[in-house]
Structure 1
């Protein structure tokens, strides 16, 4: 019976031909990762077991995944050493090794070749919720009974038959949660298809930085002026209802 060499492994390595380094854009926001270059290859280490089969890793083409055992690197699923342990590489945090390179776009014109779509995709990265969208009928039952101190950090605005509550920590009640990046509120469990372009998206959708952009899973969004938010109190809720 073969021995499972991956027992006790806490991190995995990724190897990618350097000419495909742009394919690492989706994981450059994972702060635990370190990157180094070796001749014609890029090495990334620090990939956790929980990240190994994520959409972000699976979408990277031409990669090889390794795990370390003793002083050797083994291909994932293999029992024969593929590489000696890389001890001479100079490691850097991946977000520093792969700085964002923003193109010089004309924000008033987009030719066919320049069009970039604002899309969000499923993500395995967990973040703290910053907002929640709750049906008014749910709030009608809960808000009048809630201590005022629980509401003092919350701002809110009405969206049709729901209320968008902004402020962390979010209240303990059923609803759709969002996490925040810049002025964007993204559904929990989602991230931009190109996270490194979030500043660019913010500039073209919200040039005055005076609104929040609430993204939907179908890639549409709702733009809400920041001045429309008000402090959530029992009295302000009753007046609005």
Structure 2
């Protein structure tokens, strides 16, 4: 069976996440382009491959000559490139965001039940729930969100509106993320705590009832793009274009 190769703009590499799990695919970089091979030419070719933003597709023979499908005269020769499994390329080039997993301290002030309704801006949920939602969510709902993934497959999602999936919601004050339904017993204590533990406001401080709090680098959060979400947690990697 003949082999197809695809030529793709490197700026569209995010789309390759959709075919990462197809066995046998190899990729090579060629300046501003990417070449994808290992595709068997067939009328029943996987719909995920058919959906890629391909600049040009070619049939390649045993001598590396490239033919436009339907033509018998070669138009070019496949460049001598450094090929690697697509899975390896995506693991290096598209790392997932990282949510720290250890507790960094004990809550130095008390959180108490609150009767006030505050707008939730963050959701702590499972990676499974997040992937399931993102697989079919409209792009307009994802583009307003950012996320970070932990080593134990928990996900913190930030933005508005938050996705309608199970999880723990949080509201924010001075970059402290406080569980919805709770508030500091003394309101001004929130600012004192933030000034001491996060003076340059480069962090989010996530409060976990009865467990303490975590420091989260703001740079750990990535845009909620479907390919990045799909690859989260793959091969133990936790940190999309």
TM-score of the aligned structures, taking structure 1 as reference length: 0.50
Structure ranking higher on relative contact order (CA contacts 8 Å, 6+ apart): 2
